[in-house]
């Protein structure tokens, strides 16, 4: 049987995604109760990082260990990938030795090429275009705090980046409406917006997007690889900060998420991290549990 990959949320059905999210919560509860689980005993995850990471690396590595397996960190600096060995050759070789491969890289095409040549499941751990693992954690966190997100209004405030793109996919898959407030010139991919036009509304004013929303979400203004645009972006995004005034426009029990790392004083005001509606720390921890569910699903082809 061909391996299942997870390059975007569209690689799963809605039913599979909802089961994954529920399984993530079960794994979180079991883990908190101190239950030992060895579902991935002797299994190995290769982790290829071409960009920095704290949460993704720690959660995948800890997750594999907690399930009885192990994870191996591979950086282009120390592998032949960094010296120009073709992606397809690397994929054939690496996937012949491990049970799953996780990749964080720049071009989305890289994970697509890798997955086409890979015998083992490939997980997109962030590309310039998508960050689907973060969405598993976000959806799990919303459900744990507020129940189903179906029919809710989510406000994306800031850059039309990889996280925003994954929120657009999530709007269709999890059945919520997404208000997107971005400055001119920083909108999400037009093709993606068109494909999900019944689920999203593009707005200019953050206040309009946030009004009565059930969840406010933001992310850094300059993503990895855009460091030299930082100054120009600070200017363009100046009024797109999530602060108390913006949060006050949202629904009374609205939640606030940020995938982290956060730039306090830029996309989010410092006090908002600890706002009563903020679930940012649970969101970060849930990367661990959501991805353990994902690994079990992709490697074992089951969720129980």
Point out the catalytic residue in the list 133, 287, 289, 291: 287
Contact status: 56 vs ligand CP (CB under 6 A) = yes
- Tally the C-alpha atoms within 13 A of residue 156's C-alpha that lie toward its C-beta: 34
Query: Distance of alpha carbon 60 from its chain centroid, rounded?
Result: 13
Q: Which of 55, 66, 134, 275 is catalytic?
A: 134
197 part of the interface to ligand CP, by CB under 6 A: no
CA distance 212 to 250: 4
> Which C-beta is closer to ligand CP: that of 28 or that of 55?
55
Residue pair 157/210 in contact by the 8 Å Cβ criterion: yes
Question: Pick from 38, 7, 273: which is nearest to 133 by CA?
Answer: 7
Q: Which does residue 54 bind out of ligand NVA, ligand CP, none, counting CB within 5 to 8 angstroms by kind?
A: ligand CP
Long-range contacts of 140-143 (CB under 8 A, 24+ apart): 140/21, 140/24, 140/25, 140/28, 140/286, 140/289, 140/290, 141/255, 141/257, 141/279, 141/282, 141/283, 141/286, 142/215, 142/255, 142/257, 142/279, 143/21, 143/22, 143/25
Among positions 45, 259, 280, 290, the unique one binding ligand CP when judged by CB under 6 A: 259
Residue range at the interface with ligand NVA (CB under 6 A); choices 20-28, 174-182, 202-210, 216-224: 216-224
Cβ burial, residue 260 (10 Å; 0-12/13-18/19+): middle
- Assess whether 258 carries a catalytic annotation: no
Helix (H, G, I), strand (E, B) or coil at 72: strand
Under rule CB under 6 A, residue 134 binds ligand CP = yes
164 catalytic residue (yes or no): no
> What CA–CA distances, in Å, run from 179 to 62, 72, 128, 264?
35, 39, 21, 23
55 makes contact with ligand CP (CB under 6 A): yes
Which region, judged by CB under 6 A, interacts with ligand NVA, from 62-70, 82-90, 159-167, 283-291?
A: 159-167
Give catalytic status of residue 26 as yes or no. no
Selected range binding ligand CP among 26-34, 51-59, 116-124, 238-246, rule: CB under 6 A = 51-59
Distance CA 26, CA 18 (A): 13
According to the binding rule CB under 6 A, does residue 224 interact with ligand NVA? yes
Q: Is 161 in the site for ligand NVA (CB under 6 A)?
A: yes
Q: Is 218 helix (H, G, I), strand (E, B) or coil?
A: strand
Q: Tell me: does residue 166 bind ligand CP (CB under 6 A).
A: no
Choose among ligand CP, ligand NVA, none what residue 8 binds, the Cβ cut-off being 5 to 8 Å by kind: none
Closest CA to 246 of 278, 286, 200: 278
Among residues 155, 259, 272, 288, the one that binds ligand NVA under rule CB under 6 A: 259
Catalytic-residue membership of 134: yes
Of 54-62, 106-114, 174-182, 228-236, which segment contacts ligand CP by CB under 6 A?
A: 54-62
**Catalytic site residue 259?**
yes
Q: What is the phi/psi pair of residue 114, to 5°?
A: -60, -45
Query: Shortest Cβ distance from residue 23 to ligand CP (Å)?
Result: 20
Q: How far is the CB of 215 from ligand CP (least distance, A)?
A: 17
Q: Mind telling me the catalytic residues?
A: 104, 131, 134, 219, 259, 287
Contacting positions for ligand NVA (CB under 6 A): 126, 161-163, 219-220, 223-224, 259
């Amino acid at each position: 049987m061909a391996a299942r990959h997870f390059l975007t949320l569209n690689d799963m059905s809605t039913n599979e995604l909802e089961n994954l999210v529920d399984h993530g919560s079960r794994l979180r509860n079991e883990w908190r109760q101190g239950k030992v689980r060895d579902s991935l005993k002797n299994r190995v995850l290769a982790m290829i990082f071409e960009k920095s990471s704290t949460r993704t690396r720690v959660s995948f590595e800890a997750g594999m260990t907690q399930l009885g397996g192990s994870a191996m960190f591979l950086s282009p600096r120390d592998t032949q990938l960094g010296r120009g060995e073709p992606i397809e050759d690397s994929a054939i070789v690496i996937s012949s030795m491990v049970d799953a491969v996780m990749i964080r890289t720049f071009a989305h095409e890289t994970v697509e090429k890798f997955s086409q040549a890979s015998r083992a499941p490939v997980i997109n751990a962030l590309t310039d275009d998508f960050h689907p693992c973060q969405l598993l954690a976000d959806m799990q966190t919303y459900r744990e705090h507020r129940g189903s997100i179906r029919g809710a209004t989510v406000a994306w405030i800031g850059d039309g980046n990889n996280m925003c793109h994954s929120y657009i996919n999530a709007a269709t898959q999890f059945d919520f409406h997404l208000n997107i407030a971005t400055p001119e010139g920083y909108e999400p991919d037009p093709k993606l917006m068109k494909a999900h036009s019944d689920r999203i509304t593009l707005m200019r004013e953050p206040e309009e997007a946030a009004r009565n929303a059930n969840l406010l979400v933001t992310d850094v203004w300059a993503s990895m690889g855009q460091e030299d645009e930082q100054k120009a972006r600070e200017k363009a995004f100046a009024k797109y900060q999530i602060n108390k005034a913006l949060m006050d426009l949202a629904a009374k029990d609205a939640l606030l998420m940020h995938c982290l790392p956060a730039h306090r004083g830029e996309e989010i005001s410092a006090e908002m991290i600890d706002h009563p509606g903020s679930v940012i720390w649970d969101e970060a921890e849930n990367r661990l549990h959501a991805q353990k569910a994902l690994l079990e699903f992709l490697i074992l082809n089951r969720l129980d």
